Structure formats: structure tokens, C-alpha cells
Amino acid sequence: MTIRRQYSLPNCTLILEGLSDTNSAGGDQLDARPLMTILVNAECRFMGQPQPISGGRDFFESLVQSVSRYAQEFLSHIPHPQLDGAKPPLVHLQSLPDKNLHRLRVGQPAEALSGVPSDSHSASGTSAGGIDGKNPVQLDLTTVQLFDLVEAIDQFLADQHTLPDLAVPLQPISRRYRQADKSVAQRSAPAAIGVTSLAVAALALFLVPVPEVRPPKPASESEVTETTSPTPDSPDQVTPTPTSSPPSAAELENELTSSREITNPTELSYLKRYLYRELDQKWDNREGLSQNLEYQVTVGGDGDILGYKPIEDTPIDSAENTPLPELSYIPTEGGTATRETFALFRVVFTPGGVLQISPWQGYQEEPGLGPEITDRTSLRRLNNQLYNTLDERWEGTPLSRRPLNYRVAVTDDGTIADYEPTNQPAWDYVAETPLAELADPEAAGIGSGETGFVPDQPLAQFQVVFKPNGVLEVSPLRGF
């Protein structure tokens, strides 16, 4: 049986497929996962790139070693040369004049890179394209993509049940590659400049007046103080726009404020319900868990799952037992993957088959429901229309012995745009109702309009009760 391991980051996903050698040891007895000792295929996908790169064992070993070496060199500014006599690696990385871009090349020795035109691009997803050396693969990665790749490789190296014989050989760098000694004044100059810049920036921000609360304006007119910066919990969830030179202070401010964490309670509440429905409908293997699987999940303002990472004691590759890998957004035709807004959620898959979702930071205040239809005539008309729609599709609740209570919102033409269980049986037996099949959030502009996940038109709010004896009750949430 083929074993599949996946290590997912917001901008990079590493997928390994292999087999288990029946003669090998079983590893940690507390971990019931099979031990992958034979690699059949390794695949690496990058957000914004049209196709993945892939290959066999030689490709993956070279990828692990080259990426680790390059990352150390990039961070330390000290070259990490190949050992004398070592064969050229199948995977090579080099920095580009744009310091935010890094060229990854598969299938051609490093010595030939200087003759490659800088504007040539290839993104073949076949292993032959990168391994035979005749048709090399070339990708230009942003720094965020590069270090998501580094993190994915680190997760693999920490996984003792996947290719335990593969390791990154670390050895000290020869003294001759060290940067020349500098005086204390020279070495402290960059730090002094940094402190001075920080002081100037702090003074400038101190002098900025407290902004007035206004409706959102077009991006070209927006000011830094009118947006909320990403939280420290999610620095790797946002993809910055590449620049051709080191960013200035103004450009840096623009980068920090170009992506905003959603904190509006009403929008978070709508996003939470949307995320719940997406995961709940796709979660099939509900009986195979032996522990809670907890994740921090990043969701774009349009509802796409941009990334996730395990938290608490959740095993690294446990996502295979959840619908997260299947629902995560991975572009298939290139283009940018930048999101203007994002939200963070705590998602828990429990052994009892119960899905739990809550905002990562909680709600700042009680969530609302957005604009509402309150006209009595309209409410009576929509009340009857909703009753007839549900009664026609409902076949009873044979599994539940208790009433199923829901809040249901409909548009002015009677389309069900949103629903929410209001008691525990309603959460457990939603599949016995036609709500999931009938719900159409986009009919109210939820997730598709300028208002994000808040409806862009008034909705009529109703209380709906499905009773075990076959009785259906529909009434306005706030009365007539």
C-alpha cells in the first residue's frame, strides 16, 4: 500500500509518496503510522506557480541538502561551498538581483547557470524534466515561498516515521570563508543605523494624529492608520509583493498594511459558518481518530483556506485524516496568491466525529447578522415561502429524537443565504435537513462582494424547528 505524507505551509506544500520495507523496524510504538522507508515520488507545490516540481529519491535528497545549505548561506551571508570532488547537485538555488527572489533550478549543474537567460522560465511538473539534465526546470521563488519550503523540509526531518535514513549533513565552515574581521565601530555601524531609523520612525508615528473612523476607501487613497497590521501569530501567512530593491520605510509600511487581519465580529461569524460547512461536508473519515487534531487555519477574505499548521500535540502528518489538504487553495494557473484580508481560526477534529471551530483571538464583541429585512409584509411573504421550500424537501428526522433548531436567513426573493444551528442536536443532525443543499451564500453577496463575508443586502431572519414527529415550524426570529 502506498504511503502518503504531506507537509503544508501557506505558500508551499511538500508531498512524499512511498512504501514501507517489511523488514525494517516499526519505529516508535506509540505512533501507529506505517514507517516510510522507500521514496517513490516527491512533489513540491508553490502557491502562485503553475505546476509543481517532482522527482525521485535523488531529486529529493538534492532538494533537502541544497535548500538547507542555501538558507544557511542566505541568513549568515557566509558562502557554503560544495566539497572538492562532489558531483554537481540536481537542485541548485541562487540569489537574483532582486533580493526578494531566489532562482531554484532542477536538472542542470550549477556551473551552467551563468549562461541561462534571466527571463527564461519553465515549470514542468514531470520528474524527467528536472532529472535528465536536458530539459531543466526553473522557478523564481519569493523569500516567503523559500522559507515556507525550508519549514516544510524541517517538518519532514522532524518526522521519524518518514525516510529516517535521510539526514542533512552539517559541518563547520572553513575559516577562509569567514568575512574579514572589522573593528567594533564598523561592526556596530549597521546596528546604530537601525536604531536611528527606528527612533525616527517612532517619532514620525508619534506625530501622526489619531485617525477618524471612516468607511473603507480605495487602496490608492487608503492611509496606513486605517488598516490593521497582521498579528505576530501569523507572519508567514501573508505573501509580500516582490520589490526590485530593498524596501524603503514607506514601502515597508505599505507591505505591512496591505494585508489586514479580519477582526470584525460579524464577518468572522459568517466566515466561521462558511468554514464549518466546507469542512463538515468533506470530512468523511470521522471514526479513525485516536486524539483531538487541532490546527491554526488561515482563511482568506473570500473563504479560501490559505494554510494551516498543527498545534498542541497534533502529529505533523495527521492532516491526512482531515479535509484540510483537499480544501487548501493551490493556484493551478499561476498568478498572485496575495490576499488583502485574512482570518485565523482554531479548528479541532475530535475522535467523536465532532468538528469545533472558533476565531483564533475570539470575538471582540457580540457578532451581528448584518442588515435585516424588517417590513412586516415582506416577513409574512418570506415566512410562507421558506416554509413551503423546506416542507417540500424535508423527509423527517429519523435519527434525532429531539427538535433541530436553526436560524435561517433568506434574501428578498426567498433564497436561503445563511443558516446556523442553535442547539446541539441541530449541529449533530444537520444532514437530516435540506439546509446544506439549499444554502446559496453568494445570492446575498456573502464572500463575493465588496463587503467580504457580510451580506451586501438585507436578509430576513427566521427561526426554523424540525421536530421528530414531522412537524415543521417557521417564524420570524424577532417576531412580526
User: Residue 438: which residues within 8 A CB-CB, separation 6 or more?
Assistant: 389, 390, 393, 416
The three grid cell numbers given for residue 245, joined into one nine-digit string: 530593491
- One-letter amino acid identity for 157? L
Kindly tell me if the per-residue pLDDT of 199 is higher than 60.
no
DSSP label of 414: S
Q: Which of 30-39, 207-216, 254-263, 346-355 has the highest mean pLDDT?
A: 346-355
Mean pLDDT on 29-39: 75
**Confidence at residue 377, expressed as pLDDT on a 0 to 100 scale:** 95
* pLDDT one-digit tens code per residue, 281-314: 889 888 778 889 999 999 888 888 888 999 888 9
Q: Report whether pLDDT(10) > 90.
A: no
pLDDT of residue 31: 57
Residue 90 pLDDT: 87
For residue 219, pLDDT over 60 is answered with no
Contact 480, 474 (CB under 8 A): no
Strands (DSSP E) found in 20-165? 38-46, 53-55, 91-95, 101-106, 137-142
Q: Determine the residue type at 324.
A: L
- What are the two backbone dihedrals, phi and then psi, of residue 298, each rounded to the nearest 5 degrees? -100, 125
Query: Could you report the per-residue pLDDT of 148-171, keeping only the tens digit for each?
Result: 899 999 889 888 889 988 877 655
pLDDT at position 132, please? Answer: 42
| pLDDT > 80? residue 81 | no
Grid coordinates representing 480? 412580526
Query: Residue 463: which residues within 8 A CB-CB, separation 6 or more?
Result: 405, 406, 407, 408, 422, 473, 474, 475, 476, 477
Q: What is the amino acid identity at position 125?
A: G
Residue 258: its pLDDT value, please? 55
- At 50, the pLDDT band (50, 70, 90 cuts) reads confident
Cα–Cα dist 455/397, whole Å: 30
pLDDT above 70 for 229: no
What CATH superfamily classification does 2-22+33-109+135-158 receive? Answer: Transcriptional Coactivator Pc4; Chain A (2.30.31.10)
What is the rounded distance in angstroms from the CA atom of residue 437 to the CA atom of residue 432? 11
pLDDT band for position 460 (50/70/90)? Answer: very high
Report the pLDDT value the prediction gives residue 201, as an integer from 0 to 100: 42
Q: Report the mean per-residue pLDDT for the chain.
A: 75
CA 29-32-38 angle, to 5 degrees, is 95
Average pLDDT over residues 313-320: 86
Residue 232 has what pLDDT? 43
Asked if residue 189 has pLDDT above 50, the reply is no
What are the cell numbers at 422?
442553535
pLDDT at 28: 52
Q: Which amino acid is at 62?
A: S
pLDDT in tens, 358-387: 999 888 888 888 889 999 999 999 999 999
* Of 102, 114, 110, the residue nearest 133 (C-alpha): 110
Question: What pLDDT shows up at residue 446?
Answer: 77
What pLDDT is attached to residue 392?
93
Report the percent of the chain where pLDDT is more than 70: 67
Contact 146, 94 (CB under 8 A): no
Instruction: For residue 474, name the pLDDT band (cuts at 50, 70, 90).
Output: very high
Of the chain, the percentage scoring pLDDT greater than 90 comes to 23
Q: How many Å apart are CA 120 and CA 139, to the nearest integer?
A: 9
- Among the listed ranges 21-35, 43-57, 334-348, which one has the minimum average pLDDT value? 21-35
Q: Note the pLDDT of residue 213.
A: 47
Bridge partners (DSSP) of residue 471 are none
C-alpha cell, 287: 471514526
Give the span between the Cα atoms of 131 and 9, in whole angstroms.
Answer: 25
Instruction: Return d(Cα 260, Cα 341) in angstroms, integer.
Output: 5
pLDDT band for 200, please (50, 70, 90 cuts): very low
Task: Quote the Cα angle for 306-311-314, to 5°.
Answer: 110
Q: Which amino acid is at 458?
A: P
Cβ-based burial of 140 (10 A; exposed 0-12, middle 13-18, buried ≥19)? middle
What distance in Å separates the CA atoms of residue 434 and residue 422, rounded to the nearest whole number? 16
Per-domain residue ranges of the chain: 2-22+33-109+135-158, 249-359, 376-476
- Among 382, 372, 385, which residue's Cα sits nearest to residue 459? 372
For residue 250, report the phi and psi dihedrals to the nearest 5 degrees: -65, -40
